[in-house]
Chains A and B, each alone.
Chain A
C-alpha cells in the first residue's frame, strides 16, 4: 500500500527526447493536491510533452515522476485509474454525437447501460449542450467541443485532471465559461494541471505557475511571486498628443531615475518603472505643469507578459523559430 502523498505530482529530473530534440530537458515539479497548477510557455516549450509523460502516454528517457503517489513507469495502470486527460486537440470522437461520446466513455469506465445514460444526460444539461447532444461533434463550435471534452473527463471524478491548452482558439465568452468550470471543479477538491500560452489565463486560474521554455522550468512560484521576482511597479501613461512624446520621455527619465522609458507600439503610450508611488504622482504633476496633456495613466504590477519577457528575453508570443521547432517535434512523433 502506498502512503497518500500531499503531492499530486512529483517529478525529478524528467527528460524526454524526440530524436535530436530535447522536448523536456530535466524538469522538477511539485504540485500540491487540490490546487490548480499552471504550466506557462510558448508553443514548442515542452508543455504538452510533459503532460503526455505524466498521463502515461510517453515514457521518460531519464528522471522519474510520481502521479498521486504512483510511479508513471512502474505503475501506469494505477495512474490511469486516477487521472483524466483533456488533450490539446479535442480528445473526443468527431464522428460520434455528444451523447454517444459520453456513453462510450462511461461504459468503458464501468458504468452500466442505464447509469451511463443517466450520467450523460446530467452532464449534457449541466454543460449546456442539450441542443447539440444528438449532432455529430464535427458540427460543434470550439467552445462546445471544449465543454464536451471536459465533461468527458469528469464522467467519474478523477483525482487529477490534465487540461492541455483548454482555451486555445476560444472566443472570450467560451473562455470565461471554461474558466468557471475549472474553478468549480477545483472548489470540489480536484487537482488540475493546466498548460497555457496565455499569461492572463495562468494569472487568473493557477495557484502556482511554472514558466517553461525549451523544456526547462525557468521560473516557479505564485503569480505574485513571479511578478515580484521581476520587479517593481510600472507607471503607464498615455499622451493626448504624440508630439509631446520626446518631452515626456525626458521628463519621466529625469524624475524617476535612469530606468529606460519604453513605448508599446502605440506612439502615445509610455511605460516606466516607478518604485515609489509618490514619485510617480509627482512626475505626473510635473508633466501637467509642462503642459503635456495625459489622457490615461495607471500604476501597477508588471503583467505576466512583462515577466515572461524579462525571464526569457523573448516575448511570450511564439517567435518563428519556436513554431518551426514545434512542427519538427510533431513530425518526429
Chain B
C-alpha cells in the first residue's frame, strides 16, 4: 500500500462521525454478556476444571460410596446426581469472581468507566454471560449421569426447569464472588476465599447423603443451608414431586444475596482504584 493511499484511508476513517443514540441498559448488559462469552471462547482451558471436576466427583462417589450408602450404585446415582449438579454450578460460579478480578485491574475497565454506559452493565453482563457457563456444565454433568444410568422421572421439562433454577441460584450467589473480586487484590485470594465460602455450604448439605443419620445440630444446619434447599428443590423437580414452596425456599437465599451484595458490589465498583 502506498503512502498516499494510506493517508486517504486514514483521512476517511478519521472523518467526523456523530455518536449514535445511546442504547439502553439491557443492550449494554447483553453486549457485556457477549464479551464474557468471547472470553470463554478464547480461554478454553477453563472448561477443563468445569468438566473434569464434576466427572470425577460423580464417578468417584457413585462407585466408591454408592453401594455402601444406598445399597446399590444405581440407587445412589439416582440420589446423588441432582446434588452433583448443584455442586458443579456452585464451583463454576467461582469463575465469575476470578475472571472479574483479573479483568478489572486492566486498562480496559478505565475505558468502560469513561464511556456513557449503564454503570452496572459490565458486572451484570459478565454474570449473565456466566449463566451460559452454568448451563453448559449442568448439561455435561447431566449427560454423564444419563450415560451411567441416571433417569429423571420428570423428563425433559424437569431437566430444563432444574437447570433454570440452578442458573438463577448461581446468578444470585455469584454476587458474593463478584463483591469478593472487587475487594481482594489477587485472583488467587478470590479463589481461596471463595472456597472458604463454598466448602461448608457444599459439604454440610444433603448433596452426598441423606442427613437423617447426622447428629441433631448438624441436621439443623443442613435444614437451613441454602445449597441443601437448592438440592432438595432440584431433586424434587427431577423426580416430579417438587412443590412451589420447595422452589421458593431454594430461591430465597440468592434473592437475599442480590439485595445485599448487588448494591455493595456497585458501590465497590464505583470506588476509585
A interface residues, Cβ below 8 angstroms from B: 52, 55-59, 77, 80-81, 83-85, 87-96, 100, 104-105, 107-111, 115, 119, 122-123, 125-128, 136, 151-152, 154-157, 180-181, 184-185, 188-189, 333
Task: Flag whether B219 is at the interface (Cβ < 8 A).
Answer: no
Which residue from B106, B114, B116 sits with its C-beta under 8 Å from A55? B114
Min CB–CB distance B3 → chain A (angstroms): 10
| Residues from chain A with Cβ under 8 Å of B9 in the complex | 125-126
State the CA gap A154–B19 with chains docked (Å). Answer: 10
Asked if B110 and A127 make an inter-chain contact with CB atoms under 8 angstroms apart, the answer reads no
Min CB–CB distance A323 → chain B (angstroms): 20
Scoring B20, B34, B108 by chain A CB atoms within 10 A of each residue's CB, the highest score goes to: B108
| Residues from chain A with Cβ under 8 Å of B21 in the complex | 110
Asked if A126 and B18 make an inter-chain contact with CB atoms under 8 angstroms apart, the answer reads no
Asked if B110 and A104 make an inter-chain contact with CB atoms under 8 angstroms apart, the answer reads no
A93 and B35 contact, Cβ closer than 8 Å, known pairs A87-B107, A156-B19, A156-B20: yes
* Extra 7 A-B pairs, beta carbons < 8 Å, given A85-B111, A91-B107: A87-B107, A90-B108, A107-B31, A122-B13, A127-B10, A157-B16, A181-B10
Among B38-46, B73-81, B82-90, B161-169, the stretch in contact with A: B38-46
| Residues from chain B with Cβ under 8 Å of A180 in the complex | 10
Min CB–CB distance A145 → chain B (angstroms): 10
State the CA gap A217–B117 with chains docked (Å). Answer: 33
A81 and B116 contact, Cβ closer than 8 Å, known pairs A95-B43, A157-B17: yes
Which residue from A95, A111, A188 sits with its C-beta under 8 Å from B20? A111
Which residue from B1, B13, B14, B113 sits with its C-beta under 8 Å from A57? B113
State the CA gap A136–B41 with chains docked (Å). Answer: 12
Min CB–CB distance A149 → chain B (angstroms): 9
Min CB–CB distance A102 → chain B (angstroms): 11
Task: Flag whether B15 is at the interface (Cβ < 8 A).
Answer: yes
Which residue from B10, B18, B108 sits with its C-beta under 8 Å from A92? B108
| Residues from chain A with Cβ under 8 Å of B42 in the complex | 95-96, 136
